[in-house]
């Protein structure tokens, strides 16, 4: 008798989304790490580029890679918030340290909560649930840290770079783990009929 399970939120090609998100996080992370300029203006440029392109990626790819309509809507909103925050950062790149801290805090709070909520909704029915929970929690934590952080451009921009490194490495591992898990499952399904014939 087959087990009745809730449908998964993700499709088989969803692994591409975290892998692309990882690449988009590691590029500005490298730029921040190897650049001596940790000014607020540089931070706004880095954050703006990351938030804009990452938001577009999450919003557009989630439409095809997520099967559950509610999850798709949550990630579309998350992508839209990223695009809006990215555009604001790029347009007002001379806004100063206060603007940088405020914008990153708002972006991290909203997108972190949305991803965390997606992970809670998908618990135990989707292989990506733990990834969403952890990424959402870390992003929301970034918002809290930026709110409590003493105003210092070097520390703030450096901390954002460290967040991007953590995010990029984790998402890369998560994405390829989903890909390999899907490949192993497909091999198991293919081998099952042959195994039953030999019994």
CATH assignment at residue 34: 1.25.40
With the C-alpha atoms ordered 168, 174, 175, 177, is the resulting torsion angle positive or negative? Answer: positive
Q: How large is the average pLDDT for residues 86-96?
A: 96
Residue 192 lies in a domain: no
Q: What is the pLDDT of residue 198?
A: 47
- Does the structure show a pLDDT above 60 at 4? no
Q: What is the pLDDT of residue 185?
A: 45
How many Cβ atoms from other residues are within 10 Å of residue 42's Cβ? 18
For the chain, the average pLDDT equals 85
Could you give the C-alpha distances from 56 to 7, 66, 88, in angstroms and in order? Answer: 26, 15, 15
pLDDT band for position 125 (cuts 50, 70, 90): low
Residue 9 lies in a domain: no
The total number of structural domains in the chain stands at 1
Q: How large is the average pLDDT for residues 121-150?
A: 87
188 vs 22: CA distance, rounded Å: 29
Q: What is the pLDDT of residue 10?
A: 58
Structure tokens at 155: 């520390």
Residue 102 lies in a domain: yes
Q: What is the pLDDT of residue 183?
A: 53
Q: What is the pLDDT of residue 130?
A: 85
146 vs 142: CA distance, rounded Å: 6
Residue 189 lies in a domain: no
Q: What is the pLDDT of residue 152?
A: 93
Q: How large is the average pLDDT for residues 27-48?
A: 95
Exposure string (b/e) for 106-139, b if CB count within 10 Å is 16 or more? Answer: bbbbbbbbbbbbbbebbeeebbbbebbbbbbebb
Contact by Cβ (8 Å): 179, 152: no
176 vs 107: CA distance, rounded Å: 27
pLDDT tens string 61-71: 887 778 778 88
Residue 195 class from Cβ within 10 Å (0-12 exposed, 13-18 middle, 19+ buried)? exposed
Residue 71 lies in a domain: yes
Q: What is the pLDDT of residue 153?
A: 94
**Which residue segment(s) compose the domain that 107 sits in?**
16-183
Residue 165 lies in a domain: yes
70 vs 178: CA distance, rounded Å: 21
Residue 121 lies in a domain: yes
- Does the structure show a pLDDT above 70 at 73? yes
Residue 46 lies in a domain: yes
Residue 10 sits at φ, ψ, to 5 deg, of -100, 155
pLDDT band for position 115 (cuts 50, 70, 90): very high
């Amino acid at each position: 008798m087959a087990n009745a399970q809730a449908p998964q939120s993700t499709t088989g090609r969803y692994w591409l989304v975290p892998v692309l998100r990882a690449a988009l996080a590691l590029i500005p992370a490298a730029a921040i790490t190897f650049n001596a300029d940790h000014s607020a203006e540089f931070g706004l440029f880095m954050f703006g580029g990351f938030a804009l392109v990452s938001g577009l990626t999450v919003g557009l790819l989630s439409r095809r890679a997520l099967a559950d309509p509610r999850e798709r809507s949550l990630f579309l909103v998350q992508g839209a918030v990223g695009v809006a925050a990215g555009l604001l950062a790029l347009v007002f790149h001379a806004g100063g340290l206060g603007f940088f801290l405020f914008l990153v805090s708002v972006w991290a709070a909203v997108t972190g909560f949305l991803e965390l909520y997606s992970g809670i909704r998908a618990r135990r029915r989707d292989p990506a649930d733990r990834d969403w929970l952890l990424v959402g929690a870390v992003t929301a934590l970034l918002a809290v840290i930026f709110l409590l952080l003493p105003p210092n451009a070097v520390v703030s921009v450096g901390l954002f770079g460290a967040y991007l490194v953590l995010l990029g490495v984790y998402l890369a591992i998560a994405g390829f783990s989903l890909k390999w898990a899907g490949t192993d499952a497909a091999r198991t399904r293919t081998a099952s009929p042959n195994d039953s014939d030999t019994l």
